[in-house]
């Protein structure tokens, strides 16, 4: 499937209490991450009574630690949305950061069973990032929210709250 054929991110309305979500964002590329957050909020708007708190961290590397801190604090969120962007530069820094963030987020989610919507753009250029944060069906924030809502739905189905 080409990107031109990408499906529109969708989510069914989840039964039960209104959703309470946490978005942890790394706004180093502010316009890009704001666009992704807007896409996520647009999809969340279809969930009656849903609320989402937003916290910022310094950069993408800090995303998994903030996720773990939120869980250890005993926060009563149904799930966590993680958004950030890493643009490839001239050094190996990009590879190390991308791998660490992906591994860290997966580790926390797998170890705790927390519902996670993971939206880390790992791109070669800012143009690619802007294309993936635009207000259209290619918005990766909306896709991460769709994944998060699916995970929350599974947790509720299996009564893992």
Pair of tokens at residue 53: 């708190």
Pair of tokens at residue 152: 């929350």
Pair of tokens at residue 132: 């993936």
Q: At what angle do helices 63-72 and 93-112 cross, to 10 degrees?
A: 20
Structural contact between residues 35 and 139, judged by C-beta atoms closer than 8 angstroms: yes
- CA-to-CA distance for 16 and 18, rounded, in angstroms? 7
Out of 10, 13, 31, 93, pick the active-site residue.
93
Q: For tokens 């054929």, what's the residue?
A: 5
Q: For tokens 């918005």, what's the residue?
A: 139
Residue 138 falls in the annotated catalytic set? no
CA nearest neighbour of 14 among 51, 48, 39, 63: 48
Which residues are catalytic, by number? 93
């Amino acid at each position: 499937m080409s990107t031109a054929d990408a499906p529109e991110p969708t989510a069914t309305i989840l039964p039960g209490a209104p959703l309470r979500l946490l978005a942890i964002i790394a706004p180093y590329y502010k316009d890009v991450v704001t666009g992704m957050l807007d896409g996520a909020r647009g999809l969340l708007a279809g969930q009656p009574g849903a609320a989402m708190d937003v916290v910022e961290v310094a950069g993408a590397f800090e995303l998994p630690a903030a996720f773990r801190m939120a869980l250890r604090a005993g926060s009563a969120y149904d799930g966590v949305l993680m958004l950030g962007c890493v643009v490839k530069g001239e050094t190996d820094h990009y590879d190390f950061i991308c791998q660490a963030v992906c591994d860290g987020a997966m580790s926390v989610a797998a170890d705790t069973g927390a519902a996670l919507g993971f939206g880390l753009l790992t791109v070669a250029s800012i143009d690619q990032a802007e294309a993936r944060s635009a207000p259209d069906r290619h918005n990766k924030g909306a896709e991460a929210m769709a994944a998060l809502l699916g995970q929350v739905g599974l947790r509720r189905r299996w009564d893992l709250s």
